[in-house]
A = this chain, B = another copy of it.
Amino acid sequence: MSPRRHSQERAPSQIDVARLAGVSAQTVSRVMSGQPQSVRPETARRVLAAVDELGYRVHAAAASLASGRSRILGVIIVSTDRYSSAALGVGIEQAAAANGYTVTTAAVPDHASSEAFLDAFDRLERQGAEGIVLGVPVELDSPAMRTRTERTPSTRSERTSMDPDAPHAVDQRAIARLAVDHLLDLGHTTVWHVAGDTFWLESDQRREAWEEALRERGITPPPVIPGDWTPESGYRAGRTIAEIPSATAVFASSDEMAFGLIRALHEAGRSVPEDVSVVSVDDIALAAYASPALTTVRQPFEAMGRAAALRLIARIEGKDAVGAVPDVHPELVIRASTAPPRA
């Protein structure tokens, strides 16, 4: 069982190419790794011709074993179909490919235990990942995690208080700030908050910043309304808020929740933005097509992914720069879900 190859015999190796081209295996290696100045053009041409004829391709595992470098970037993601994960992934892939790296993923269930994370980490290390992007809310403080991140460079895609030294990650507190200030500047006297899944570090960061922003203006924050990123949870939150006549402004931690929230508000006879203003976070593709179109704080997911990968690659290669790291500032996009409170 488990046949080694699927059709015919074994794949052509460096030696096969060398023989056909009439050179040594080493020369083939040099040509494949593209060191221009070390092989005579004519020789290179012969090698390339042989490569082509045989359909030779470098065996990554062998190369990795011999060189000690895998050029593999690991990504730990949670098994969800959330827009953000996908967009982040696109950015990571892109930066990796641009630098000759390959991306290997390890998924963990949503709300997984820290053992599950460690396990994913281990799987990635076993595959030879030289760096790992943490797309999940892992506690980096545990001893087990510490030994791992010490051994294999790792990075987050968002900035949290856990690693404030990640200058190229999105500042979650700034996001809350942008949302709250916008609402307050519009004239609302307070802002309610529908939080994201508390399992995620971002949720707390935003909640704290929301509270802080309110207090700074001398406002006592109303109770937090829990959510979990999903439109369903937003809907539930909306039903709660609909029963609070004094609530005129809400900061929801994700666009998807805003969709649910607004639906609930409408069903309860409260219109948006006339009766209550809503600002959310993410700016997913559909945000502009909600009814009303969502005012939201955009997170540049793709750029965040690129930034995380580049950061990692720079660390792996010990360089300071691997191309310009993209800007990842959050940005308030004003559309139709916010307005001044009714006079």
- Chain A contact residues, CB within 8 Å of chain B: 1-7, 55, 57-62, 64-65, 68-70, 72, 79-83, 85-87, 89-90, 93-94, 97, 102-107, 122-123, 125-128, 147, 150-153, 230-231, 235, 256, 259-260, 263, 266, 285-286, 288-291, 301-302, 316-319
Contacts and interface: CB of A to CB of B under 8 A. Distances in A.
A116 to B, nearest CB: 11
B57 A125 contact: yes
Given A65-B59, A151-B6, A286 B302 contact: no
B127 A102 contact: yes
Number of copies of this protein chain within its complex: 2
Given A127-B102, A289-B260, A93 B122 contact: no
Contact of A259 (B6, B61, B90, B286): B286
B86 A317 contact: no
Given A2-B317, A60-B128, 17 more contacts: A2-B318, A6-B151, A55-B147, A59-B128, A60-B126, A79-B90, A81-B86, A82-B86, A85-B86, A93-B106, A94-B107, A97-B107, A104-B104, A105-B105, A231-B286, A259-B289, A291-B291
Contacts of A64: 61
